Amino acid sequence: MVAPMNFNEEYTRRIDYIEKILRRYLPAQEGYQKVIMEAMEYSLMAGGKRIRPMLMLETYRLFGGEPGMIAPFMAAIEMIHTYSLVHDDLPAMDNDEYRRGRKTTHIIYGEDMGILAGDALLNYAFETACRSFDLDGEYAVRAGKAMKILAGKAGIYGMIGGQVVDVKESGHEVSGDVLDFIYRLKTSALIEASMMIGAVMAGAEDEDIRTVEQIARKIGLAFQIQDDILDVTSTTEVLGKPVHSDEKNKKTTYVTLKGIEESKKDVERMTAEAIRELNRYPAQDEFLEQLLKSLVYREK
């Protein structure tokens, strides 16, 4: 898909804005423990689509959020996503030496510092989110609500829970139910948190927050299925990581369960549903629609 010119410009502008925020909240590299700050920056500033903070910001705008108040949570969600990658890459987990063409954190800093850098990023995510308690009255109350969502969706009933089942079932064939569970927790949960926190901090009603959760679940699922499709249809050069890894690891994926055509249809259907539901909100704009399309029609 060729996106309209202004989308790519807008997208780049937002990536820049998000990376400026990430840098702002990264700790200064000083003190006897400086190496851990370096490892945090190394992993956090390694590029990536930044879709979680981007979706958070867009949802925040959708519900009329005032500029500035969402920044600590945008940084926090990306720190949580990053810590999960750092720990995933460890020798006892996926044992990956490269990510996005760069050496992984534990390869550069050692396995012990890899573990500690992940711990540090997870903890610092909450530390960063806590800055929102300094905001004025109503925002501090919203921050408490947002913090609950962040912790819940990142934990054993969210991302970590999905990761646990993924690790446990690795090398086994799994049922559609278990696969749904893994995708919903491992991938959708943080997308749900992103969009829900955007809505909460903007002061959205509880009903809208629940709607946003459902929309985000579809987006996360479509995103993950597209990952499965690309593992089959893409090339290592385009993807920047080895393809056919699922087949090699005998991994059950949406594609192995449903076939490639059905998977593509489901991705399109779920994305269209998400866009339709978002379009019910008057403030919904072109960018978010284009963003969702770009995520599911992406080639890497």
- Residue numbers of the site for a copy of itself (CB under 8 A)? 27, 31-33, 35-37, 40, 83, 87, 90-93, 110-116, 118-120, 122-124, 126-127, 130, 133, 140-141, 143-145, 147-148, 151-152, 154-157, 160-165, 167-168, 178, 181, 185
Residue 133: both structure tokens together = 């308690």
CB of 229 to a copy of itself, least distance (A): 24
* Contact by Cβ (8 Å): 74, 53: yes
CB of 156 to a copy of itself, least distance (A): 5
CB of 157 to a copy of itself, least distance (A): 8
Q: Which of 94, 69, 100, 81 is nearest to 240 (CA)?
A: 100
The nearer residue to a copy of itself, 112 or 237, going by C-beta atoms, is: 112
CB of 76 to a copy of itself, least distance (A): 10
The nearer residue to a copy of itself, 226 or 252, going by C-beta atoms, is: 252
CB of 59 to a copy of itself, least distance (A): 21
- Which residues does residue 98 pair with via DSSP β-bridges, in sequence order? 103
Q: Which of 16, 77, 73, 68 is nearest to 47 (CA)?
A: 16
Separation of alpha carbons 201 and 205, rounded Å:
11
The nearer residue to a copy of itself, 143 or 216, going by C-beta atoms, is: 143
The nearer residue to a copy of itself, 10 or 41, going by C-beta atoms, is: 41
DSSP-assigned states of every residue in 75-122: HHHHHHHHHHHHHHTSTTTT--SEETTEE-HHHHH-HHHHHHHHHHHH
The nearer residue to a copy of itself, 136 or 261, going by C-beta atoms, is: 136
Separation of alpha carbons 202 and 6, rounded Å:
26
The nearer residue to a copy of itself, 60 or 124, going by C-beta atoms, is: 124
CB of 194 to a copy of itself, least distance (A): 16
DSSP-assigned states of every residue in 239-296: HSS-SSHHHHTT---HHHHH-HHHHHHHHHHHHHHHHHHHTTSTT--HHHHHHHHHHH
